[in-house]
Structures are given as C-alpha cells and as structure tokens.
Structure 1
Amino acid sequence: MLTHEDYAVGWISALPLEMRAARAVLEEMHPHLPQRPTDSNSYILGAIGGHNVVIVCLPYGIYGTTSAASVLTNMMASFPNLEFALMVGIGGGVPGTAVDVRLGDLVVSKPTGTYGGVVQYDYGKVVSGRGFQQTGALNQPPQVLLTSIAQLQADQLATTTQENPLCDILSRAFEKSPELKRGFASPGRDRDQLFAASYRHVESQETCDMCDKDQIVLRSERDPSFKEPKVHYGLIASGNQVMKDAEIRDQLAKKFDIICFEMEAAGLMNQIPASLLENKIWQGYAALTAAAYAKLLLSVVPVHSPSRAEKKKDLSAEEKACLRALVLTDPADDLNALKRRRGERVPGTCNWIIVMDEVRQWLGLLPETSKANPKTVTAADILWIFGNPGTGKSTVATAMAEELPKQPSFQRNKSNRTLAYFFCGSTIEERRTATAILRGLLYQLIQQRQELIRFVHSKYEERGDKLFTSFDALWNALVQIGRESSSGEKYLLIDALDECEPESQDMLLTQISQTFDSERNSNCGIHFLITSRPYPEIGRYLGEYSHKDLASYPKVARDLQMFINRRLGEISKKNRYPESVITEVSKILQEKAEGTFLWVGIACAELIPVRSRDVMKRLKALPQGLHSLYKNLLDTAFDNDEENESILQMLSFIATSRRALTVAELADACERYNDEDHESRIAFTREDIEMCRLMIVVENGIVRLLHKYVKDFLLSARDGTLLDELKVHATLASRCIHHLIADGTKDAFLNYAVLHWPDHAVLAKNTFRIPTEQEIFFELTSKERDHWLSLYRRMRIFSGIPEGFSVFHVAARWGIEEVARFALDCIGKRPDNHYYHDDEFRASNAGTPLQEAAK
C-alpha cells in the first residue's frame, strides 16, 4: 500500500480540462489516500514511467500565481517527498517571432542567460524616467529535468518524419478512452487563424467565426509529412492576469524573448523547482498534447522515488510473508551445491574474466567508443558467453558471482550496482523454468536492497501466490525494479540457460529481446549476462548482442593447466607419483582434454585407484572426447551385460524423470532387489549409484546427474548403443501405472507415479503401449483409475478434475492417443452399442471428452 511519502512528482493543472488530460495519460491509477484536514486540494494519484505522480487542479475560477502557490503549499505538506513539480496545461503562444508557434504546438520552458525558464513580467517597480522595470529572479528547473529535456530535444532532432512518440502517446490515450476524441482531438490546421496584432476581436465570442477575415495574417504552410504536435523550447512569461492584448504581448515578447504566456508558473518557481509547458476549440487538444509531453518527459527522468522501505531496517510482517512466498530456490544455496557437486574452483582461475573488455563493457566501465562489437545495442545491455559442454562456463559464472561483489564498482559506499545470479539445472525442477529464474533473481535483488520489496508486495496483495506462477507479472516487477534508479543499476547473471526447459527458454529470450529492442534509446537499468552452449535457438536471440566464445579467451588454456596441476597434485600426494610420471601425465591430460575441464575431472578420478607404474597405461587407454570417455567407463564398469543393462536403465530414469528422485523412489522405480527388505533395497541401490559416481551424485537423499552432458550422453542415439528416450519414457509410464494398480501404501514411488505417469505417456509418443496386465486401468469403468484420480485431486487441488472424469477425458486432457485408441476398442467390443457418443461420458461438471480436448 502506497503512502504519501511514496510520491515524488507533482503535476499542477489550472483547469479541470487540463486535469482530465493528465488523467488520460497515466499508466496506473492509484487509490485515494487520507487527507489532512487543512489540505483543501483534490488529488488524482497514479504512476508514469516508474514515477508515482500526484495531480492537482487549481480551485475552479481562481487562477493566477497566488492561487497556484497556495495549492502547491498544501500539496508539499501532504506529500513531503516531492522532488519537483510540473505545471502542465494551456498557454498563449507568441506568433510572428523567430519561433513559428502555432495553435496546438507545445512550449517547454528553457533557461536563458538571464532567466531560469520563466519570467514574471508583471512583477517589478516604476523607476523615474525609465518606466516599469521587472525585478527579482525566479528559480530554474532542477538539473535532472534540464538533462531529461535536453535528451528529448536530442531525440527530437534524431527522429525521422515517420517517428513521433507524442503521436503514439495521443493515439494510445484515444484507444484507451475513445470519448476523448470529442473534445481533445486536433481541430485541424484550417482552424488555426492568426489575426493582426492591432485587430480588436469581436467580444463575447468563443471562436473567431464572426471576426473580420481580412485581418488574417497569411503564413506559410507546414510540411505535410511532419507529424504534429511540434515542440518549441524557450522562455515562458507568467503573470497574474490573462494576456489579452496582442500588441502588449508582442512588445513584451520582443523585450524578453518570450514565446509563450501563462498565469500560474511564477507562483511556483520559488517554492519548488518546476517546468512548464486562446481560441476555445483548441483548448482540449492543447491540454492533451501538453500532458503527452509531460508523460514523455517523465519516461526519461530517472526514478528517484523515496519509499518507506528505504527508511526502515526491517521488512514488515506482510512484506516478509511476501518474500517467503517468492522463494522457490535460493540461488546462493544453489551455488554452494554446485561447488560441492563439481568441486571448488581452483584458486586463481577465472578471475581474469572480470577484467575482459566484454565484461567491463557490460559493467559500463568502458567508454562507448571501446565497444568490442559495434553491433551491440548500447554500451552495457546484454552479454552472451557460450561454450561447448564441460569447457568451464559454470566455473566462469561462479567466479563472477563470487568476485564481482568484491569489486569497487559494486561497493555500496562507492557505487550503486547490484548483482543477482541464477544457476539453471536441467535435472532440478525448481531451476529449469523461466518463472524460477525470475523468482530467484528478484529474491536476490530484494535481499540486497529491501526497499525493492514494494514492487513485488503491491502485486502480491492483489494476486496472492498466483503472482509467482505468472511470468508476465514477474517480468513487469523486474522491469519496474530496473527503472527504479535510486537503487542503481542491476546486473543479472544467468548461467546455463540451455538447461532451462525449451518453452521457458524461448519465453525468456523473447521477452528479453522485446524489452531491449523497445529500450534502445533509454537505459532500463537491467543488464543480462547469459552463459550457455552455442545452440542456434539461443543464438537467434542473443547473437545480435555482444557475445563471446569462451574458448577464444587464451587464459582458458592456462586455467585448464592450473586445474590439471591441482588435481594431479592431490592424486600424486596420495599415490606418491615420481616427478617424471607427474610430468608425463600432465602432458597427456592437456593433450587429450581438448579444452574440456569435465574430461580432466573424470580422467583424474579414474586414476585415483591406479598404481603409479600403471597410471600411464590407464591414461593412454582413456579415449578423447566426453562421449567416448563415458562409453568407455560404462563398458568397463560392470561384470556382465545384465548388470550393465540394469544400471543403464537406472541412469536413464534419473535423466528423464520429471523431477529429481529420492534414493527410495529410484529403488522402487527400478524394481531391483524386490525380494529384499526395504533397508536392504535402499543400501543396494546406493551401491549401484556409487558405481556410477562419475555420472550421478546424491545430495540430501536426492539423486542428480553430475553434469548436463551425462543426460546428453545417455539419451543420444550415437552408434545405436545408448538409450532411446521415447522408450525410456514408455517404460517409466508403465512402471508408474504398475505401482498405481498395486497401490502399495509404503511405496515411495507412488507419489511420483500419481502425478507423472501421463507426462511420460505423452512424451513416449507412439512407443507407449498398454500391456495386458494394465488394461484394467484403462477399461471404460475402472476402480483402479478412479482411485488414481482421487489421489491426483488430493495432490493437485487446483487441477479442476471433476467426478465422472472418464478414460476419454484422461486421453483428451493429456493427449495420449494410445489411451483413446484402447478405450474406443473397448466400445467396439460392447454387445449392445458399438458407437462412441460424447454425451454418454459427460462428467459431473457437464463437460464432455470432446470439450476437454478442445480446451
């Protein structure tokens, strides 16, 4: 819930018409807040470009500098953290000057050598012999506004005739509120008529239809290719009276170099820094275009909105609950688990990565002219580092995660940068989806800067836990945090994106590409560094940004040698290798590794039990390349083909399971040692796992692959010697159904079987078949299937599965063709009715199988 302290931008309108225009361009509307008894203002609250904005209108019929000053005083008292205020609305342009100002144009106050952007022309004194002299000076707008206006000016010069962001804002406002067109659309250039300054218009007329057309001043036509409105920058005159005398107007304009007159800004400039932007038929359009420019300005002004959270050391109870709900996995814990599984980084390796030009460019530590790749979007948006399996990508990512926070550029007292990281894992459910990545990054950012919780908590209050399953909602929160510039730039490191599920991977890359394409001319405050294999589906998105092949860094070879020396030193210390053996082994490892750290790690593990006199023979027998090395390990590890096949099946189950399995679940799934008691089965399964220690590991009772390449190796079809992934899924589906029919209450695998047999049946495609002993599960009427559905509802309470969910519903929901075919065969065998009728299988919610299929 936002409070008065969360609003940093004031927006003042003189007329209700102007306030309506301001409301039309808000990106968000906020609820009203309690008001102080002494504050008589009426406010509209909302947000634009990440800024929380408070809009106020002058009292009806009471205009001028005094009224504006009074309104602002109340607003500042109610909203104590206002950093600046904008006076946005309708003014009177000065035609015929060096600046070609016309009805509907925009005028933005800009400081001159003498004045701060606004001059109060009716404030001064009468001096004998010299008439009226203007005295005093008004403040100029704050530097942040002047810088942002200069950026817009530069963008305006750079845009083509086909580009006009103001037109885009106006179009979106009309699309959002079509009724605006009645009073706020442009009347057209033919309704812009300039009369001679000396001409006295017909009084009591809102338009000039009754005025003398002979007094119209002819002006050149504007370029029809230019998309209005046009923006002018210069000095604005402000006073307590409406400027209605054209001759006096022109005299003052010439004297002060004024291009616009209005009535309220002078009352504001000395209270709070401000910036500004009559023919009645143009007023609505003028008000809306002024509001559109103000919105455009706020979109480039850095967000410095203060928040209550910045002033508190601890989160509230509600915010802590939100943070707990956000956590799916703690990236810091995942990093420690990765190091424990693969070993600590050898001291001194990979530290060089943080001083490479590409990384320094990503960090914004190199000037724009030092780009390694001139095609990159900006100096520091996205960096993609890719490499083949086992070449040290995750080790490099680990080094950056550990070393970057120690750098001066990340020290809170010297800089304003925050690093968050996420390590994807293909075998870990909590680390392979796009939402998991965003949740991990958001959690780390909020841990380091607790004030950022407000960007998640406000959405959590509205949507609850559903927020954390919505990729779009999480992405929007991340973008808002990026734009919150008071907490600095956010550097996000995602390791091993190729291990993310394909659908999630595509979703994340598409969103990153779209966001950075739309942010080409303005920094969104987020910087991604992504590591992965050089897959083309990733390169299609990231290839246009700064990218680097890890193998092209010469220091990778040095790191590999340091890694060999470290591992070899540990082995030789235990096995007492002679110096000559150490030298020769080091040389062979370097030659056979082909730049692959994983190969060296596996090879060194193979050498541990080998005597020094046999080490050269064993090492030379190891083939080059990871695939050949793993195949060699499997071929020599087991005593007979039966045991080899059994171990391969266990490995394949680990590689294809929909979530990581426990040791007990794996034992039940493999159905080995069925004649043994439970404790013995677990012990024997652990022994099997130990035999595959170079491929799988056990962490807290959970069985995981050592590296993603193990999965690639096991499920590849190379040489026809390894596993067929479709057949593995078919086998797992069958094992699951077997356990469901048996319904062993002490069966550790039952929970997995309930939730995931349909997934494996679908992934098996046409290799899934229903064996005779499992037909009972798929009959038209089956108490076994009904029991499964009751368990499924209990485990997935939001599944929406009603009573009467038939076998055809099951086939339709998961898309399992074999189940549909079998059930239709069952209908064909009925003696009385051989035809399928959809209505016959209507569930308790009145849904039929065909409706389920359509959904």
Structure 2
Amino acid sequence: MSIYMANNAEDGATISQPHNAHEGDSRRMLLPSLHMATFDIDSSQEYRRYSISVAIICALPLETDACKALFDEHWDDLSTFDLPRKGDTNAYSFGRIGRHNVILIHMANMGTTTAAAAAAHCKASFPSVVLALLVGVCGGVPLNKETGVQDMVLGDVIISDGVVPYDFGRQYPDMVLRKSGVLEVMGRPPPAVGNLLAKLKSRSDRKSLNERVSHHLQHLRNDFGDAIVYPGADNDRLFESTYKHKHRISSNCPICNNSDGFICDTARTSSCEELGCDQNRLVPRRRLSGLSTDSACLQPIVHFGLVASGNSVMKSGEHRDRIAAREKVIAFEMEATGAWENFPCVVIKGVCDYADSHKHKTWQLYAAATAAACMKAFLEKWTYRT
C-alpha cells in the first residue's frame, strides 16, 4: 500500500508522494505542523480533511474571485478532489491563507436556504472547521445614530458581532414583527470570536486592521488591474430615505405618478440618470465632501456591528431605516442566518449600495475586493487552535 511521509515545515507540514514516484509527478499538500509520521493513502486523506479549520462562504463569482486571489497557496488539483465526503454537492476551492488551511465554498445562488445547505455539507465533510467567514457584498445603513456608526460610505467593510434574522416573524399591516424568543434569535459569537472582535475594536488594533486591509487591497489592484478600481466619490450617492426611485411627473407614467405609491417595472430597472432623480435630494457626506471626481481612492474603513440577514434583497430606504432603528443593525445581507445553524460565523462584507431603491451594481467589484482584503487581514489576527 502506498505510504505518505509528513515532514515538518516552518508554517506546517507537507505530504509528499512515495519516494519511487517520478519527480515531475510529486505533489505537496501544506498541513498544520506535526512530527514525523507515516500514513497510508486513506488515513492521509482523512488527516487532510481534519486539517482544514476555516470555511469561506461566497454567494457570487466576483466574491470568490477576490478571495481566491488572496490565497497564499492553492490546492485545486487532483490531491484534493476526493476530500469531500460522498453525497457532498458543494463545489470547493482549497488553499492556505497565512497559518490557516481554508476551504472556499462556491454557491450557485444567494439566500439563507442555499447557505444553510452548503454549510451543512461542509460541516459533514470537514468537521474540524471552527469558523466560517461569509465574505462578499452587502447593503449598508448610513448615518445610523442608533449604533454609533457615522458616515459609512460605499467600499467600507462590515464585520458582524451578531446576526439578526430580520424577516423571520409575523407580517402586520405596517411591518414584519420579528420573533424575539430564544430559538428565533441568532446568538452572539463564541468566546474565541467575540474576544478577537473586542480586541480589533480597540484603537490601535482597529488602526492596524485598516492598514492591513489597504495593503491587501493594493495587492488585488495589482493583480486585477482596471477590473478593480475605486468608482469615485461622484458615484457614491445617498438619497434621502423617503425619496423614491421612480418616474417623475414630467414622464406622465400612469403607475409611478399614481397616488397609491406604486412604481412601474421600467423604473425599477432604470438608472437615476434615466429617471432624472433630483440631485438636490442627496444627503451631504462628510468623508466625501473634500474629494474631487479625479481624486485618489478613498481608503475603506472597517465598521463593527449587528448585521440583518434575510432571504429578500433590501431596496427601500424607509424600510432600511425602520429596521435599523428597531434592530440596531448596520448592514443587510442574505446568507448569514443559514450558515449560522452549522458554524460559528463572522460576516465580512463590503458595502456596495445603501439598501435603497436607487441601488446599482457599479460598486460590486470594488466592494467585493475590500471585503476579501478585510477577510485576509482578519485571518492574520485569528490564532484560535482546537
């Protein structure tokens, strides 16, 4: 039977092919540090399965592209194809980020249901995973006095210190009232995660984290070139929450101009320029006020707080602010509550819009890049061992 030899390395160990293998066919797998040991092929696969400690969950291809670009080592070859257990329908990418062996889960669709299924399969195949990071893009809650987060701009990054399933409850004529019993509320992060988050919120560590995010973001810019660029302060527009994205009176649209508040399908898919959204209804932004249209990139800032998670895309400024005031959340996303059922989770997502009816996709690539940069900066600080 084939024998694999594990050898110590500074950051881990490598598993090599038997000595009689051709030199050109040799493959190596980076694993957590261990003393000299031998495995047959079956036990080697089992060891590798138990060596992975961090799962990264992405819902969009642009999110996975940014995350994979920051891997320090890629293992997507024949040495990893047999690691998932039989019946696991997930698609994975394997690799190393710093000291951590990680697995990236590719999801075909957004939503809590898809995330729950993906996380359940991953947990069965890789029981040693102790942390799941949900990395990608989200809708941000700007100027939220309830949470102390002020002047959030597009491209900033959200790190969750708790998750709120905001659309799980009872529908009343004026609102959805979320259930608040013990079984309906996502718990706070476990101690290892909560303690790290507390550390990162301190002045010096927050400064260091923001600097590392900028460092890794520059790496992505060098890698992707013009595909990842700061879209510019002139494209970061926050309208008053009550100002709807719809046809104006001059358009004579019978639906948008009706007093019942309905918006036509054409308006929903049109840009602000096409609809003539009034620039006088924009909210002034302190961080953006000194930037010209051709100025250098505004560096992203990391914000910590509760994240609202649900199966629907938030596209209403009024509903956004109402839920944010009630639940004290700083962002909206669509996967965390599903994954939380299986793993301790941290949401790390870049703000690509303001979760209102004026949202567009201009900022998605850049926000995915800032989130991936923050993901790597976070893992540099994550030292938990089982």
Q: Secondary structure at the match of 1:103?
A: coil
Aligned equivalents of 1:260, 1:102: Cα separation in 2: 12
Paired residue for 1:723?
none
Q: After superposition, where does 1:482-501 map in structure 2 within 5 Å?
A: none
Matched, 1:119 2:164: yes
TM-score, structure 1 normalization: 0.32
C-alpha distance in structure 1 between counterparts of 2:189 and 2:103, whole Å: 18
Corresponding position: 1:182 with 2:220: no
The residue type paired with residue 179 of structure 2 is Q
Where structure 1 has 5 or more consecutive residues not aligned to the other structure, the ranges are 111-116, 305-485, 487-855
CA contact 1:149–1:297 (8 Å) conserved in 2: no
Structure (1 or 2) with the greater helix fraction: 1
Query: 2:159 is paired with a residue of what secondary structure?
Result: strand
**Cα distance 1:55–1:160, how it changes in 2: closer, same or farther (>3 A)?**
closer
Q: Is the contact between residue 139 and residue 273 of structure 1 (CA under 8 Å) also seen in structure 2? A: no
Q: Supply the distance in 2 between the matched residues of 1:208 and 1:89 (Cα, whole angstroms).
A: 25
1:145 aligns with 2:190: no
Residue pair 1:51, 1:303 contacting (<8 A) in 2 also: no
2:167–2:178 Cα contact (<8 Å) kept: no
Bigger CA radius of gyration: 1
Matches within 5 A, 1:258-277: 258-277=329-348
Q: Aligned match of 1:51 in 100, 107, 111?
A: 100
Residue matched to 1:192: 236
Q: Secondary structure at the match of 1:266?
A: helix
Q: What is the distance in 2 between the residues matched to 1:128 and 1:200? A: 21
Listed one character per residue, the Cα deviations across residues 122-171 of structure 1 (whole Å, up to 9, x for unaligned) are 1123589997343311122222222222333325567499x822111111
SS of match in other structure, 2:57: strand
Q: Does the C-alpha gap of structure 1 residues 159 and 134 become closer, same or farther in structure 2, counting only changes over 3 Å?
A: same
CA distance in 2, matches of 1:259, 1:87: 16
Aligned residue for 1:272, secondary structure, equals: coil
Against the structure 1 CA distance between its residues 246 and 227, is the aligned structure 2 distance closer, same or farther, given a 3 Å change threshold?
Answer: closer
**Cα distance, 1:155–1:298 mapped onto 2, change above 3 Å:** farther
Aligned residue runs from structure 1 range 340-359, under 5 A: none
Q: 2:87 aligns with which of 38, 41, 48?
A: 38
**Structure 2 unaligned runs (5+)?**
1-14, 16-28, 30-47, 247-266, 354-359
Q: What are the residue-to-residue correspondences of 1:736-755 with 2, within 5 Å?
A: none
Structure 1 residue 260: deviation in Å?
0.4
Deviation at residue 88 of structure 1 after TM alignment: 0.9
Q: 1:108 to 1:82 in 2, by over 3 A?
A: same
Equivalent residue number for residue 60 of structure 2: 15
Distance 2:323 2:89 in 1: 35
User: For residue 17 of structure 1, what is the amino acid of its counterpart?
Assistant: L
Mapped partners of 2:371, 2:271: distance in 1: 21
Q: 2 CA distance for matches of 1:206 and 1:166?
A: 34
Change in Cα spacing, 1:284 to 1:206, as seen in structure 2 (3 Å) is farther
Instruction: Give the direction of change, closer, same or farther, for the CA distance of 1:207–1:18 in structure 2 (3 Å limit).
Output: farther
Q: Does 1:288 align with 2:369?
A: yes
Contact 2:167 2:176 (8 Å CA) reproduced = no
Q: Deviations over 1:348-388 (max 9, x none)?
A: xxxxxxxxxxxxxxxxxxxxxxxxxxxxxxxxxxxxxxxxx
Cα distance in 2 for residues equivalent to 1:50 and 1:160: 19
- 2:273 — aligned with what? 209
Q: Contact 1:90/1:283 (CA < 8 Å) preserved in 2?
A: yes
Q: Is the 1:206–1:280 Cα contact (8 Å) retained in structure 2?
A: no
Q: Secondary structure at the match of 2:127?
A: coil
- In the alignment, what sits opposite 2:124? 77
Cα distance in 1, alignment partners of residues 206 and 172 from structure 2: 48
Q: Which residue of 1 aligns with 2:33?
A: none
Aligned runs of 1:580-591 on 2, under 5 Å? none
Q: 1:65 Cα shift?
A: 0.7
CA RMSD across the alignment: 2.7
Q: How far apart, CA to CA, are the structure 1 residues paired with 2:299 and 2:90?
A: 34
Report the residue type matching 1:294 in the other structure.
M
Closer, same or farther in 2 for the Cα pair 1:155/1:10, shift >3 Å?
farther
CA distance in 1 between counterparts of 2:304 and 2:154 reads 15
- Report SS of the residue matched to 2:319: helix
Q: Corresponding residue for 1:257?
A: 328
Distance 1:30 1:131 in 2: 45
Mapped partners of 2:100, 2:205: distance in 1: 26
- For 2:362, what is the secondary structure of its paired residue? helix
Report if the CA contact (8 A) 1:148-1:297 is conserved.
no
Q: More strand by proportion, 1 or 2?
A: 2
| Aligned AA (1:50) | R
1:271–1:219: structure 2 CA closer, same or farther, 3 Å change rule? same
What's the TM-score, normalizing by structure 2?
Answer: 0.69
**CA apart distance, 1:95:** 1.6
Name the aligned partner's letter for residue 272 of structure 2.
Answer: C
Residues 132 and 20 of structure 1, relative CA distance in 2, 3 Å threshold: same
1:140, 1:274 within 8 Å by CA — same for their partners in 2? no
Over residues 540-582 of structure 1, what are the superposed CA-to-partner deviations in whole Å (9 max), with x where a residue is unaligned? xxxxxxxxxxxxxxxxxxxxxxxxxxxxxxxxxxxxxxxxxxx
Query: Does residue 297 of the first structure (1) align with residue 345 of the second (2)?
Result: no
Q: Pick from 317, 336, 361 the counterpart of residue 246 of structure 1.
A: 317
Distance 1:49 1:245, change over 3 A: same
Q: Contact between 1:235 and 1:258, CA under 8 Å: does it hold in 2?
A: yes
Q: AA paired with 1:235?
A: L
Q: Which residue is 2:19 aligned to?
A: none
| Alignment partner of 1:231 out of 295, 302, 306 | 302
**1:9 offset after TM fit, Å?**
0.2
Cα deviation code 1:656-684 (max 9, x no counterpart): xxxxxxxxxxxxxxxxxxxxxxxxxxxxx
